[in-house]
Amino acid sequence: MPVPDVMFCAQQIHVPPELPDIMKQFTKAAIRTQPRDVLQWSYGYFYALSRGEPLPVKERVEIPVATQKNDTGLTPGLLKILHKQLSEKETVDMPDLQRKWKNLCLPLEQLHNILRLDNFVEGVDWMKFFALACSALGGSLLSSMRHACQILTEDPEGGAARIPYDIFAFLYSYLASLDEEITEEATESFLNALKEQVARKEYMVGVADFGVVKKS
C-alpha cells in the first residue's frame, strides 16, 4: 500500500541519529547477499539485528558456477551464514532452523530433502546437518569435505582452507557411514593416513592434504 502523500513541517519530523548508518549497512548487506526475496530477507535481517544475533549476510558476493542453473538453492555462502547463526548450539530446534532457512529465501523442499537423509527426532544435530548440507553442495564425499573446509576455515580466502583434524574426521566419518559403498575399514584407513600426514602441522587438515591421501 503506497505511503500517503502528507507534508510535514521540519519541527514534526524526528530522524533517529542512528538511522542513516543502519540503512547504509543494510543496503551494503543486501548488495553482498543478493537475496532472491528482498522482503523476506529484510525481515530476517532486522529480526537478527534486533536480537543481537549473527546477521544473514554473505561476506562477499558469490559468482554462480558455470553448472549452476539457477540461484534459488543452497550455496557455500548461504551455508556459511547458517553455520554462523546456528553453530553455537549443538542441537538446533527445528522451528529455528526452518525460520533461518526461510529468511535466506531457500526452498523448504531442499531443507526437507536434506533432513530426510538422517533421523532427526529431538532437534537437529547441527554438525551432522552441516555435513549433509555440504553433501548437497558437492556430489562426492571429497568434494563435500572440500566445501566443509572452505566454509569452516579461519584461513584467508585462497589459503590452505585448514580445519582441525577432529572436526574433519567427524564430518568425514559421518558422511562415509551414510554411503553403503564405503566400508568402516576404508574410512579408518583413510583417516589414519591423513592423521599421520598432518601430525607435523598441528593436526590441521587443508584441502590439499586429503587430496594427496586419496591419490596415494
Question: Which tens digit of pLDDT belongs to each residue from 77-111?
Answer: 999 999 999 999 999 999 999 999 999 999 999 99
pLDDT in tens, 116-144: 999 998 899 999 999 999 999 987 999 99
Pick the CATH number of 138-216 from 1.10.357, 2.40.30, 2.60.120, 1.10.238: 1.10.238
Residue of 12 and 164 predicted with greater confidence: 164
The yes-or-no verdict on residue 67 having pLDDT over 60 is: no
Residue 116, sorted as left (phi over 0), alpha (psi -120 to 50) or beta, turns out to be alpha
Phi, psi of 5, deg, nearest 5: -85, 85
Cα–Cα distance, 106 to 104 (Å, whole number): 5
Per-residue model confidence (pLDDT) at position 158: 83
Per-residue model confidence (pLDDT) at position 131: 98
Per-residue model confidence (pLDDT) at position 215: 46
Per-residue model confidence (pLDDT) at position 64: 64
The yes-or-no verdict on residue 166 having pLDDT over 50 is: yes
The yes-or-no verdict on residue 193 having pLDDT over 60 is: yes
* Of 63-67, 129-133, 203-207, minimum mean pLDDT range: 63-67
Domain boundaries, the chain: 15-58+72-126, 138-216
Average pLDDT value for residue range 157-173: 94
Per-residue model confidence (pLDDT) at position 72: 58
Share of the chain above pLDDT 90, in %: 75
The residues, any chain, with a CB within 8 Å of residue 198's CB and separated by 6 or more, are 165, 204, 205, 209
Using 50, 70 and 90 to split pLDDT, how confident is the model at 210?
confident
109-112: Cβ within 8 A, 24+ apart? 110/73, 110/74, 110/136
| Mean pLDDT of the residues in the chain | 89
All three cell numbers of 195: 592423521
Using only C-alpha atoms, what is the Rg of the chain?
21
